[in-house]
């Protein structure tokens, strides 16, 4: 076996952190690229991250998808929250919605980059939906809910049960998860929901499924409504 792969799969930390860090690094590069490069970089980082997740699957025992009614409820609920939070806040009396984080890069709209309705435009829309639904959820859930949450609690993170509810890690890990997203408040609340699901089910797989369902529905909404700001 390749020494780098052996090191990756042999370290409980690297196996859970490396896919996420590589994804974030390529996202930074993507945000500073011009022309059509961001779309190709997204395609590349999705493939590379999927490959890394495949490599570490044996070393990350909690990396198992699970379908449950709770996962479906949380997945759909977070989707509704994500697209409805602005409206909810205004109706609660706030004059405007909460300010969003300013992230690098233009909104993801392949129709602008490659032409309305072209084959490449639809190809990259499919790449985005599949990447955000099948690759991002296991990558982020393993990092945030399995590694970071437990590492905040104890450096020997594997000694902390997945289902342990701990207030400070619950708040801290979800806050970091929120800061990773433009819609940071929705991200924090989503982090609470996914982490609560892990604590309830005592496993990670339901949160992976819920996260995947949220992202899939959001992708369909973006394409249907032209709500590119969410991407």
Asked if residue 97 has pLDDT above 90, the reply is no
The conformation of residue 157, written as its DSSP 8-state character, comes to: G
Alpha carbon distance 66, 179 (integer Å): 27
Residues 132-183 have pLDDT tens digits of: 999 999 999 999 999 999 999 999 999 999 999 999 999 999 999 999 999 9
For position 105, what pLDDT does the model report?
64
| Alpha carbons 105 and 107: distance in angstroms, whole number | 7
pTM value surpassing 0.85: yes
Q: Where are the domains of the chain?
A: 64-230
- Give the model's pLDDT for residue 102: 77
pLDDT for the residue 1: 62
- Greatest mean pLDDT among 102-106, 113-117, 186-190: 186-190
Per-residue pLDDT at 87:
87
Higher pLDDT among residues 21 and 34, named by residue: 21
Q: What is the mean pLDDT of residues 53-78?
A: 97
Taking CA atoms, 118 is separated from 35, 37, 122, 128, in Å, by: 16, 17, 6, 16
Cβ neighbours around 40 below 10 Å, total? 14
Has residue 9 got a pLDDT over 90?
no
CB 139 within 8 A of CB 20: yes
């Amino acid at each position: 076996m390749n020494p780098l792969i052996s090191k990756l799969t042999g370290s409980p930390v690297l196996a859970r952190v490396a896919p996420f860090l590589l994804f974030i690094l390529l996202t930074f590069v993507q945000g500073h690229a011009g022309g059509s490069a961001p779309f190709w970089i997204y395609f590349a980082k999705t493939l590379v991250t999927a490959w890394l997740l495949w490599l570490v699957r044996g070393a990350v025992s909690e990396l198992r998808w699970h379908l449950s009614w709770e996962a479906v409820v949380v997945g759909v609920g977070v989707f509704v929250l994500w697209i409805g939070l602005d409206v909810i806040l205004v109706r609660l009396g706030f004059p405007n919605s909460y300010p969003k984080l300013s992230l690098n890069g233009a909104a993801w709209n392949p129709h602008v980059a490659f032409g309305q309705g072209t084959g490449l435009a639809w190809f990259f829309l499919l790449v985005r939906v599949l990447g955000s639904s099948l690759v991002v959820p296991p990558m982020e859930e393993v990092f945030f809910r399995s590694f970071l949450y437990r590492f905040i609690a104890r450096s020997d993170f594997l000694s902390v049960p997945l289902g342990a509810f701990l207030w400070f890690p619950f708040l801290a890990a979800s806050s970091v998860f929120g800061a990773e997203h433009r819609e940071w408040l929705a991200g924090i609340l989503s982090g609470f929901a996914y982490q609560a699901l892990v604590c309830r089910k005592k496993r990670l797989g339901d949160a992976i499924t819920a996260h995947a369902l949220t992202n899939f529905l959001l992708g369909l909404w973006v394409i249907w409504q032209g709500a590119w700001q969410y991407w």
